[in-house]
Structure 1
Amino acid sequence: MKKPHLLNMFPSFYQIHLQQQLKATEYLTLKILVYLLACHKQVSLELLASLMPYPIQFESRRRSLQRFFKLDCLQIERLWFPIVQEILKEKFKNHKSLKVAIDRTQWRDKNVFVISLIWDKRGIPLYWQLLNKRGSSNIAEQQALISPVKELLKDYEIIILGDREFGSVKLASWLCEQQVKFVLKIKQERYIQSEEADYVHLSEVGLLPGSSFYLTGVKVTKQKGFGSFDVAGYWRRKYRGKVDDEGWYLLTNLGGLKPAIAAFKCRSGIEAMFKDCKTGGYNLEKSHANNERLKNLILVIAIAYSCAVIQGQKFKQMGIQKYTGRLTECKRSHRRHSSFWIGLYGQSWVVGMEFCQEIVAELMRIRRNKLPFFQRGVRAMSLILSGF
């Protein structure tokens, strides 16, 4: 069985584009970083420098990585947007609309504002900014985040999904002006007014577990100067003895209850992505990078993350995901692991063979009665190593 190599970490269109945009040394350094993220799941600069298989002193490796993460060529629009466009052409060619989620996350003292494409129950980062403050974003910052992605996805209908931080009539009005669909969660304390009725809180509409409603053409604030919107309400019924603490109140222009609820359920993909980048995958919370290096580090993570998702999807198509992790679990109605997890740990599984090949060969020789199973496992490893 051939040993792991870096060439197969990237799909072919990644390789072509990145080689055109980066110098040879920059491209090779990026390949090594993606390899380290896949195998060691660490993004701390100190740890990356410690693990980097480059025959120079540690301090030289650390300074080399610092210089890499300051490169001017590591620009989202220049390096990442063309890759996103190729992903869309290859993976979304039959899709007319795309679900796009916006959210913030706090990594140490960094306030990271991200907009992501929801794909395979995960969010793929499209564009991101570091806010020089703590707390919520404002309408100007939200517009600055959405506008580049709106242009990037101009050939598709996009549906913006946002949690309560983004449930403002200012953002909704602006999205209507931009002819963009949206589903934004709003607080139950928000005032609404239907036709000539008095203003009431959403909490007074009477939403209960197992119920829903859809109101059209209602005013969703006492502030003047804003038009009417649709408001959807949904509270999931009690399931296996558990009930949610409260229901969803959604500001939307999708025109119906079912499409609004179905779209908003996809928003959880961005929360899953944040977990993957933190404790569930790359341990980003251990990074001490400054703002400039962190923004470029997120770019490298976006490249590595999307590669892992694509790999995981391919492993599932090949039917070899059972060699990477458990497929099902008692009392779970869906698969245990995502395509990201399958792709990430599939590479880690076979990389160990490089260092344990002789030991594994001896184990296989001793347990010859299991030879047919070993042969199937070796074939699965070979398929993973074939990569893209």
Structure 2
Amino acid sequence: MKPVAISWRRLLLLDSLRFYLGMYSRVVLVADRGFGRASLFQWLLKTRIGFVVRVSKRVWVYGGGIDGCLGGLRLRAGEVRWLAGVEYHKRWRVKVNLVVKYRSSGDHLYLATNLKDCREVLRSYQYRMWVEEGLRDWKGWFELDRMRLSSSDRVERVLVLVVVCYLFTLLVGSWAELNPGWVLLVSEVRWGWKLLSSFRLGLALLRRLRLSELSKIIASRIVWEEV
């Protein structure tokens, strides 16, 4: 992933968000590898903004038993390692905490942070992935990136309709996850679906079955469970 251009204007916008949102809750910036820049970490530390940013395995770190590329760290299957106060980047040497999580695919997770709790760091990044997955659903499956409406009123009506459709599809998918037999009906082996979210599962079922049939099945199941 290419580095993201971090302009002072964007940093000032982030600082303004911290000011307004900070009145109600703590602000934590969660980002992917494109934001893994030492200069950004230095600024976030200076302004006391919390952050959890995925970084490249090729970055240089010193501390926690490492003196070289982060990817050189050996991990056991299932291991999660917490490295406190390591120096990030050979020239900038910004002190951060690192969470390293083993992945069977070999694409291990490296997270730079100024938070103090390893579980909170992993939970925050998992939440970012969940949000990104939802945005991908909205842009890809509803094709919102192709929407060309000039009137704000029309856009508002379309978005309301999309939200209703999304929630209904999500409800169907969430119900199906509790009933494994329905997942097998639209499994990847049989229909070529790569089901990564409750939404995609619900969409696959809606495409596979008639809406009237699915509604009756869900309704009867709910009545049976209540009885």
TM range (shorter): 0.5 to 0.7
Query: Whole-Å Cα distance in 2 between the matches of residues 173 and 184 of structure 1?
Result: 13
Check if 1:147 corresponds to 2:15: yes
Q: Aligned in 2, Cα 1:211/1:305: closer, same or farther, shift over 3 Å?
A: farther
Residue of structure 2 in register with 1:312 after alignment: 167
| Alignment: residue pair count | 194
Per-residue deviation at 1:284?
A: 2.7
| Amino acid corresponding to residue 160 of structure 1 in structure 2 | L
Per-residue deviation at 1:250?
A: 0.6
| CA deviation string 1:251-305 (max 9, x = no partner) | 0112132221121111112322332332222x1332468xxx7xx79x8599648
Unaligned runs of 5+ in 1: 1-103, 105-133, 237-242, 351-359, 361-372, 378-388
- Among 178, 191, 199, which residue is 1:337 paired with? 199
Displaced runs of 4+ in structure 1, greater than 6 A?
331-335
Query: Whole-Å Cα distance in 2 between the matches of residues 301 and 176 of structure 1?
Result: 42
1:139–1:171 Cα contact (<8 Å) kept? no
Residue of structure 2 in register with 1:124 after alignment: none
Unaligned runs of 5+ in 2: 188-194, 221-227
Query: Whole-Å Cα distance in 1 between the matches of residues 134 and 21 of structure 2?
Result: 20
1:214–1:256 Cα contact (<8 Å) kept? no
Alignment of 1:127-142 (within 5 A): 136-140=4-8, 142=10
Residue of structure 1 in register with 2:102 after alignment: 235
Check if 1:277 corresponds to 2:126: no
Query: Whole-Å Cα distance in 1 between the matches of residues 28 and 158 of structure 2?
Result: 21
Identity of aligned residues (%): 15
Q: Aligned in 2, Cα 1:305/1:168: closer, same or farther, shift over 3 Å?
A: farther
Residue of structure 2 in register with 1:327 after alignment: 176
Q: Aligned in 2, Cα 1:307/1:148: closer, same or farther, shift over 3 Å?
A: farther
The structure number with the bigger radius of gyration is 1
| CA deviation string 1:60-116 (max 9, x = no partner) | xxxxxxxxxxxxxxxxxxxxxxxxxxxxxxxxxxxxxxxxxxxx9xxxxxxxxxxxx
Greater RCO, 1 or 2 (C-alpha within 8 Å, sep 6+): 1
Secondary structure in 1 aligned to 2:100?
Answer: strand
Query: Whole-Å Cα distance in 2 between the matches of residues 306 and 144 of structure 1?
Result: 33
- Among 60, 70, 80, which residue is 1:212 paired with? 80
| Amino acid corresponding to residue 246 of structure 1 in structure 2 | D
Residue of structure 2 in register with 1:165 after alignment: 34
2:102–2:108 Cα contact (<8 Å) kept? yes
Query: Whole-Å Cα distance in 2 between the matches of residues 202 and 211 of structure 1?
Result: 15
Check if 1:267 corresponds to 2:128: yes
Query: Whole-Å Cα distance in 2 between the matches of residues 305 and 145 of structure 1?
Result: 31
| Amino acid corresponding to residue 251 of structure 1 in structure 2 | A
